[in-house]
Amino acid sequence: MKFIQINLTMLLIVLTLGTFAQKNKTYQLTSPDGKNIVKVETGDKLQWSVMNNSTEVIAPSSISMQLQTGEVLGNNTKITSSKTEKVNTSFNAIDYIKEIIPDVYNQLTLNCKGDYGIIFRAYNDGVAYRFFTKKKGQITIVNEEANFNFDKDYKCYIPFVRDFRGKEPYIQSFEALYTERNVSQFSKDTLGFLPVMIDLGNQKKAVITEADLEDYPGMFLKINDKTDKSFIGVYAPYPLIEEQGGYKMLNTMVSKRANYIATVNGSRSFPWRIVIISDNDTALLNNDMVQKLGSPSRIADPSWIKPGKVAWDWWNDWNISHVDFKAGINTETYKYYIDFASANKLEYIILDEGWSNDLDLMEVSPKINLQEIVNYGKQKNVGIILWAGWYAVASKMDSVFEKYG
Indicate the pLDDT class of residue 7, thresholds 50, 70 and 90: low
Radius of gyration of the chain (CA): 26
- Total-model pTM: 0.90
Q: What is the mean pLDDT of the chain?
A: 92
CA dihedral 284, 287, 290, 294 (to 10 degrees): 180
User: At residue 399, what is the residue type?
Assistant: S
Percent of the chain scoring above 90 in pLDDT:
79
How does pLDDT run across 61-111, given as a tens digit for each residue? Answer: 999 999 999 999 999 999 999 999 999 999 999 989 999 999 999 999 999
How does pLDDT run across 106-144, given as a tens digit for each residue? Answer: 999 999 999 999 999 999 999 999 999 999 999 999 999
20 has a pLDDT exceeding 60 = no
390 has a pLDDT exceeding 90 = no
Q: What is the mean pLDDT of residues 376-387?
A: 97
Q: Quick check: 311 and 346 in contact, CB under 8 A?
A: yes
How does pLDDT run across 191-230, given as a tens digit for each residue? Answer: 999 999 999 999 999 999 999 999 999 999 999 988 889 9
β-partners of residue 384 are 349
Please tell me the predicted confidence (pLDDT) of residue 115.
97
CA dihedral 398, 403, 404, 405 (to 10 degrees): 60
Q: What is the mean pLDDT of residues 139-160?
A: 97
- 14-23, 92-101, 256-265: lowest mean pLDDT where? 14-23
Please tell me the predicted confidence (pLDDT) of residue 1.
52
d(CA 146, CA 208): 11
Q: What is the largest CA-CA distance in the chain?
A: 111
Please tell me the predicted confidence (pLDDT) of residue 13.
43
All residues at 6 or more sequence positions from 258 whose CB lies less than 8 Å from its CB, including other chains: 237, 238, 239, 240
How does pLDDT run across 296-355, given as a tens digit for each residue? Answer: 999 999 999 999 999 998 887 788 889 999 999 999 999 999 999 999 999 999 999 999
Indicate the pLDDT class of residue 23, thresholds 50, 70 and 90: low
How does pLDDT run across 227-250, given as a tens digit for each residue? Answer: 889 999 999 999 999 988 888 888
d(CA 67, CA 148): 21
Cα 204 from chain centroid? 22
Please tell me the predicted confidence (pLDDT) of residue 400.
93
List phi, psi (to 5°) of 304.
-75, -15
Q: What angle do CA 9, 13, 16 make, to 5 degrees?
A: 135
Other C-beta atoms closer than 10 Å to the C-beta of 343 total: 10
2 has a pLDDT exceeding 90 = no
Indicate the pLDDT class of residue 391, thresholds 50, 70 and 90: confident
